[in-house]
Structure 1
Amino acid sequence: MSAVAGRCALVVNPTAGRGRAGRLVPTVSAALREALPGTELTIVESRDVEHAESACRQAVADAATVLVMGGDGMAHLGVNACAGTGVPLGVLPAGTGNDLCRGLGLPLQIRDAVKALARGLTHSVDLAHVTKPDGAERWVGCVVSSGFDSRVALRTAAMTVSIGPLAYAWSALAELRTFSPLAYRLTIDGERRGLPAMAVFVANAEFFGGGMRAGPGASVTDGLLDLTVIHPVSRAVLLRLLPSLYSGRFVRHPAVEQLRAREVIVDGDGLIGSGDGELLGDVPLTVRTVPNALTVLG
């Protein structure tokens, strides 16, 4: 019998993957009930982000195990509901990016995810804990970003027509036409640095933006954040660097600096932060690593 026993809640974003998640609910629920005999499975299809967040938190209160199905936005809500509680989180990837699954080494196909859940194995991973200027807190599984990439994320979120995985690339090209370096004020493990930069990534796990590698080689079990700074370059150079974000080879460029830290405060002029692709808002953002903050199934 699987270690996933007792009450289990599955929270679904039915619109993820252009509606793919919603269409898969009957098939996935049947597969889970077969793979997890003796488990009382409750399924909630969310109406909107607020409902999904509330459903995840209620699931943590009511169930021994929480599963989420959708894209990275849904996974982000699951992380924030389960972080620090000891309640295991399982992720059924049904979005276009699935960066959290990539970063945590979880299956990228739903059928493989169901098999992994049936095995019932758990492991603990680190998370990035973010404190915003108003004192509000957020957990981030992959990357806290700012600068060029956050501007791109905002532009992508504002798109009225879905073009799937190409959305980030299209937005990046559009943003590039007017972008110039931003003034950062960073505090890295207590050491202050002021510098201009195109972007600063603070990575718990390495992936963002649908498979881009913000912190190549970042580990979710080393108790450290991987900090990547892209120092000022021309727009032409930044355009050439963008494709190599997918392979991680961009870090070989002399304008790219990599550091590791336990806490990074990101501040500066005209900056907007995002975490796991979700808007965090104004700076300063205090990002610190919290070892073993999340229990993951799979």
Structure 2
Amino acid sequence: MTSTGDRPDCLALVANPAAGGGLGRRLAERVARRLSVLMPGTRIRTLLSRSWADAERLLSEEVGRSRESPAPGSRALVVMGGDGMAHLGLNAVAGTPVPLGVIPAGTGNDFCRGAGLPGRIPAALEAIASGRSGSVDLARVSGTVRTRDGLREGSRWVGSVVSSGYDARVNRGVNELKLRLGPPSYAYVALRELSRFAPLDYRIEVDGRVRELEAMLIAVGNGGWIGGGMQICPGADITDGRLDVTIIHPCSRATLVRALSSVYTGGFVRLPFVERLRARTVTVDGEGLAAMADGEDLGRVPLRIECRPGALRLMGAGARRGPRAAKH
């Protein structure tokens, strides 16, 4: 649901200075000045994070201040960076009345794609300043998940996709590169990982139905994109109250390479070894599997993934919604 309302009295802009190869640091103050022009009467505070843990702390403190405000909606939170910052932002505000804005300044920006938000900074600022906001779904992931103190039993919110197979290994390999160039980095690591990859043993539960199978990957999406524009769950809609599940069954490496060539268009889902499901709740388990989500380490299986409709109030929602891919 999208609505137009009053602008907040106070807005905290939390930026990752390292995002986009330093783009975040260079643009943070400029972005704050532009928001001040677009949102007269709104007080803008700019905060630069020093690390993942520092960003998480800053966001938590800002949400705490918002909860103490006498009027709901009088404060808002905006993050600037890549999918990692979007992930931290939505984890800070999910389930609260605090609205979140996202300014894409990373190399992937897949959450913005899935949410229909503008992919360029000027348009993102206009959308945030418009006063338009909407409720969108999130995935709630429970199990052994990453926290500031390491892996702990708990839960995290996910905006895009939970990856656990070949896709997760590619994501992790890209994160380990000293120089990250967005989609070209994913293509390079995808080919490198493929040379040593074998099908994985999965145990999954989809809305109560248990299956044991081998697969190259099982991706569970709230949104549909990973890796800077790869449509691993084409047509995923973050307002439909469902998770989209993509299973790539065992195939030869050469066949998978051909499939990867159409992952940016989503056309690979028409191949006979690709299965697609929709569900409210999915549990992923298997031998030696580790999960990634929103471009970051998520945790260790088993993980329970549940769609939570309307868990996030998103500033600028509905600004740009592309056509949904057909379901198969």
Into which bin does the TM-score normalised by the smaller protein fall? Answer: over 0.9
- SS of the residue 2:153 aligns to: coil
Q: 2:257 & 2:173 partners in 1: Cα distance?
A: 17
Q: 1:143 & 1:163 partners in 2: Cα distance?
A: 20
In the alignment, is residue 76 of structure 1 matched against residue 87 of structure 2? yes
What amino acid sits opposite 2:26 in the alignment? R
What amino acid sits opposite 2:167 in the alignment? D
Q: 2:65 aligns with which of 62, 67, 72?
A: 62
8 Å Cα contact 1:2-1:118 kept in structure 2: no
8 Å Cα contact 2:141-2:157 kept in structure 1: yes
Matches within 5 A, 1:134-283: 134-283=152-301
2:36 equivalent in structure 1? 33
TM-score, L = length of structure 2: 0.89
Q: What do residues 6-51 of structure 1 show as CA deviations (whole Å, max 9, x unaligned)?
A: 1210000011011111111121111011111111111100101110
Deviation, structure 1 residue 244: 1.0
Q: 1:119 aligns with which of 130, 136, 148?
A: 130
- SS of the residue 1:124 aligns to: strand
What amino acid sits opposite 1:13 in the alignment? N
Question: What value does the CA root-mean-square deviation take over the aligned residues?
Answer: 1.3
- SS of the residue 1:247 aligns to: coil
What amino acid sits opposite 1:9 in the alignment? A
Q: 2:231 & 2:7 partners in 1: Cα distance?
A: 32
Classify 1:95/1:59 alpha carbon distance in 2 versus 1 (closer, same or farther; 3 Å). same
Deviation, structure 1 residue 107: 0.8
- SS of the residue 1:17 aligns to: helix
Q: 2:286 & 2:247 partners in 1: Cα distance?
A: 14
**Deviates most, 132-141 or 102-111:** 132-141
Deviation, structure 1 residue 61: 1.5
What amino acid sits opposite 1:57 in the alignment? S
- SS of the residue 1:18 aligns to: helix
1:15 equivalent in structure 2? 18
- SS of the residue 2:261 aligns to: helix
In the alignment, is residue 49 of structure 1 matched against residue 52 of structure 2? yes
Q: 2:313 aligns with which of 292, 295, 298?
A: 295
Q: What do residues 79-108 of structure 1 show as CA deviations (whole Å, max 9, x unaligned)?
A: 100100121000011111110110000111
1:86 equivalent in structure 2? 97
Matched residue count = 298
8 Å Cα contact 2:107-2:181 kept in structure 1: no
Q: What do residues 250-288 of structure 1 show as CA deviations (whole Å, max 9, x unaligned)?
A: 100000000011000000012111111111121001000
Q: 2:12 & 2:202 partners in 1: Cα distance?
A: 42
Q: What do residues 117-149 of structure 1 show as CA deviations (whole Å, max 9, x unaligned)?
A: 121111000000000235310100010111001
Deviation, structure 1 residue 192: 0.4
What are the ranges of 5 or more consecutive residues in structure 2 without an aligned counterpart? 67-74, 145-151, 317-328
Classify 1:2/1:118 alpha carbon distance in 2 versus 1 (closer, same or farther; 3 Å). farther
8 Å Cα contact 1:4-1:117 kept in structure 2: no
8 Å Cα contact 2:174-2:180 kept in structure 1: no
- SS of the residue 1:111 aligns to: helix
Q: 1:235 & 1:241 partners in 2: Cα distance?
A: 10
Classify 1:220/1:164 alpha carbon distance in 2 versus 1 (closer, same or farther; 3 Å). closer
Q: 1:10 & 1:163 partners in 2: Cα distance?
A: 25
Deviation, structure 1 residue 2: 7.2
What are the ranges of 5 or more consecutive residues in structure 1 without an aligned counterpart? none
TM-score, L = length of structure 1: 0.97
8 Å Cα contact 2:104-2:120 kept in structure 1: yes
Deviation, structure 1 residue 185: 0.1
Q: What do residues 179-222 of structure 1 show as CA deviations (whole Å, max 9, x unaligned)?
A: 00000000011110000000001011111111011111111111
**Deviates most, 53-62 or 248-257:** 53-62
8 Å Cα contact 1:3-1:119 kept in structure 2: no
Q: 2:8 & 2:300 partners in 1: Cα distance?
A: 42
What amino acid sits opposite 1:5 in the alignment? P
- SS of the residue 2:20 aligns to: coil
